[in-house]
Amino acid sequence: MKFQVFTEGKIVNDFTLSGAYLFGTDGISIRRAKITFADGAIECVRPNSETAGLALLWPIAGFGRVLLPTTCLPERNLPYILNVELARAKLMQITNRREDWSFFDSLEGMEDISKESQELFIKAIQSIKDAPAAAQLADASLRRATVYSEKLAVRQGKSVFDKRRRSHGFGRGCLGCRLDPNLIAQSPYLDRALEYFAAVTLPVNWARIEPRQGHFDFAALDDCMAALGRRKVVISAGPLLHFAQDHLPDWLLRSGAGFEKMREFAYQFVSKVVARYAQVVHRWHVISGLNAFNQFNFNFEQILEMTRAANMAVRAAGSRAIRIVEVTSPWGEYYATTPNSIPPFVYMDMVVQSGTSFDAFGLQMRFGKDETGMHLRDMMHISSILDQFAPIAKPLYVTDVEIPSENGKHKFNPDVAGVWHRHWDPTRQSQWLERFYKIALSKPYVEAVNYGSLADGDGSAIAHSGLLTEALEPKESFGTLQRLCLSMFKR
C-alpha cells in the first residue's frame, strides 16, 4: 500500500514517521512490515496481502499532534490519500462509540461541528480525483471530527463518572501515586503525597535488592515501609518481577541459567520480599510487562509459567493482598518489532484461560515520549481501549499514568512524541489529567488510578511529568486531583 501525504493541499517532501506501525483487522500490529517515506508518499510493505491499517503520529491544526489510525484497507496499485483515510477512520470511530455507549445526547454547541465534519468528508470523497483538494477537505473534516470526538468521550465519561460518584461507587485507595524511595525521607514530600492520596506505590527493583546472588539489601525499602507504616494509607509494592534489563541483577543476566533455574531464582526472590512485608502491603504488582519486555526470550508457555509461579509465590509467602498482573502498552505496537512478545489482550486472555490464580490486571498508560506505546492518543482512543477490558473477568487498576507539564527535548520533543493542543504547560497537564481520570474512573471495572510521578526528577518515564516541581511545590495538576478527590468522597 502507498499513502500520499499532503499539508495544506500540497504534497509534502519531508515527513517524520513517528510511532508508525501496521495493524490487521484484529487490531494486532503486523510483524515484518516495512514502512518508509519517499517522494511525498508512505510505502507500506507487509508479509501478506490481507487488509491492514496504518497508525502514526499526525498533526491536527488547532488540536495538537496525536497518534491516529486509518481503517483497514486492501492492497491496490493506486495510492491512498492519507489525509482522507485518517478522517474516514475518525468518523467511523465516532459512530461506533456512540452506538457502543448508547450515548446519543446532543452536545450543546457541537452538533453543527459534527455535521460539518461529515459534510466536508463527503465533499472530499466527491473530489477524490483531485488529490490536493480532497486532502484539504479531509483535513478540515478531521479537525472538526477530532474536536467533536474528544468532547463526546469526555461528556460520556463525565456522565457515567457522576453516576458512580453519586452511588458511592469509589473505594478507599482508588486514587494513588507512585513514590520515589529516595525522597520519602523528606517530610514535605511524604506530606504532599498523603494530603489527598489514600494509596501509594513503592517500586521494587530486583537488581537493587539482590545485587549479589543470595545477598539481599532491604534497607531502603525497610525505611519506606517504616515511614508509611505510621500513616493510614493503602500500600502497593512492585513490580516484584519485571523482565527488562534495568530490573534484573547482573549476576542473573550473566548466569546463563535455563528457564527452570530462572523460575526458581524468581520464585525465591518473590517469596523473600513478600514474606518480609506481607503484613503491611495491601496490593502486590506481582509481574509487569511480560507481554512486551522479555529479556530472556521466554516462549509462550514459559511466559505463562513465570506469571503463574510468581503469583503462587506471593500466596505461598503468606500474603492475602491483592495480586496484580501488570500489562504495558495496551495498543500493542511493540509486537511489530519485539521478538518473543505477545499482544496485550492475547497475553491477558492466556493468563485467564490458563487458570493462573491472581486478582486483577494492571495497566500502564504513559504518554509524551517518542517510544513504542508512549505516543500521545486522543481521549476517544483512550476511552475505547479501556472499553476493551470490559469482557475480561477481572478488575482493572490503572497502575501508572503520566503526562508532561512542559515541552521536552529529543525523545520528549512534542513533534515526535505528541502534544495536546498548542504546547505542554502546567495548565495543559492539569486539564488533560482531569479528563483522563473521569474517563478512566467512569468504567465500572476500573478499581483505581495511580499517578506515576509525584515530583519532577524522581526517575519517572516521562520528563516533567510530576504533580510537584523538583522543589516540591504543587503544580496545577496537583490541585486538580485534590478537587477530584474531594468531589468523589463528598457526602
pLDDT band at 230 (very low <50, low <70, confident <90, very high): confident
Taking CA atoms, 386 is separated from 111, 128, 345, 357, in Å, by 25, 35, 11, 23
pLDDT of 412-444, one tens digit each?
999 999 999 989 999 999 999 999 999 999 999
From-to residues of CATH 3.20.20.80 in the chain = 169-489
DSSP 173: T
Cβ 237 vs Cβ 287: under 8 Å: no
Stretch 341-353: mean pLDDT: 96
Bond before 330 cis per omega within 30 degrees: no
> Please, which residues have CB within 8 angstroms of residue 441's CB and are 6 or more apart in sequence?
161, 164, 170, 174, 449, 488
pLDDT of 12-46, one tens digit each?
999 999 999 999 999 999 999 999 999 999 999 99
Listed in sequence order, the DSSP H helices in 127-258 are: 131-166, 187-196, 206-209, 219-229, 250-255
E strands, 353-404, in order = 360-366, 396-402
Among candidate residues 16, 30, 102, 137, the one with its CA nearest the CA of residue 67 = 16
The gap from C-alpha 283 to its chain's centroid, in whole angstroms, comes to 20
Q: What whole-number distance in Å separates Cα of residue 270 and Cα of residue 440?
A: 30
The CATH number fitting domain 169-489, selected from 2.60.40.1120, 3.90.650.10, 3.50.50.60, 3.20.20.80: 3.20.20.80
DSSP 73: B
DSSP 198: S
pLDDT band at 350 (very low <50, low <70, confident <90, very high): very high
pLDDT of 126-141, one tens digit each?
999 999 999 999 999 9
DSSP codes joined into one string, 243-254: -SGGGS-HHHHH
**All three cell numbers of 177:** 501515586
pLDDT band at 344 (very low <50, low <70, confident <90, very high): very high
Among candidate residues 454, 458, 254, 285, the one with its CA nearest the CA of residue 359 = 285
Taking CA atoms, 335 is separated from 47, 247, 451, 467, in Å, by 15, 21, 26, 32
Listed in sequence order, the DSSP H helices in 322-475 are: 344-353, 379-387, 414-417, 426-441
Helices 131-166 + 379-387 axis angle, to 10: 60
Place of cell 503486523: 30
Residue 457 pLDDT: 84
Q: Is 148 in a helix, a strand, or coil?
A: helix
pLDDT higher than threshold 80 for residue 49: yes
Cβ 291 vs Cβ 347: under 8 Å: yes
pLDDT band at 491 (very low <50, low <70, confident <90, very high): low
Cβ 429 vs Cβ 476: under 8 Å: yes
pLDDT higher than threshold 90 for residue 490: no
**All three cell numbers of 362:** 494492571
Stretch 243-259: mean pLDDT: 96
Taking CA atoms, 406 is separated from 308, 372, 424, 488, in Å, by 41, 21, 4, 28
Q: What percent of the chain has pLDDT over 70?
A: 98
- How many residues can be counted in the chain? 491
Residue 422 pLDDT: 84
Average pLDDT of the chain is: 95
> Please, which residues have CB within 8 angstroms of residue 97's CB and are 6 or more apart in sequence?
103, 149, 152, 153, 156, 380, 383, 384
pLDDT band at 335 (very low <50, low <70, confident <90, very high): very high
Q: What whole-number distance in Å separates Cα of residue 347 and Cα of residue 291?
A: 6
Exposure class string for 19-51: b at 16+ Cβ within 10 A, else e: bbbbbeeebbbbeebebebeebbbebebeeeee
pTM of the model: 0.95
H or E segment at 225? helix 219-229
Residue 393 pLDDT: 85
Place of cell 519517499: 38
Cβ 381 vs Cβ 333: under 8 Å: no
Q: What percent of the chain has pLDDT over 90?
A: 90
pLDDT higher than threshold 90 for residue 199: yes
3-state DSSP: the chain helix, strand, coil percent, rounded to 5? 40, 20, 40
Place of cell 501508572: 400
pLDDT band at 458 (very low <50, low <70, confident <90, very high): low
> Please, which residues have CB within 8 angstroms of residue 294's CB and are 6 or more apart in sequence?
243, 303, 338, 339, 340, 341
Q: What whole-number distance in Å separates Cα of residue 155 and Cα of residue 160?
A: 9
Among candidate residues 328, 327, 292, 334, the one with its CA nearest the CA of residue 30 = 334
Q: What whole-number distance in Å separates Cα of residue 185 and Cα of residue 7?
A: 52
**All three cell numbers of 275:** 514474606
Beta-bridged to residue 73, according to DSSP, are: 52
Q: What whole-number distance in Å separates Cα of residue 268 and Cα of residue 314?
A: 10
> Please, which residues have CB within 8 angstroms of residue 77's CB and are 6 or more apart in sequence?
none
pLDDT band at 111 (very low <50, low <70, confident <90, very high): confident
Residue 186 pLDDT: 85
Stretch 292-311: mean pLDDT: 96
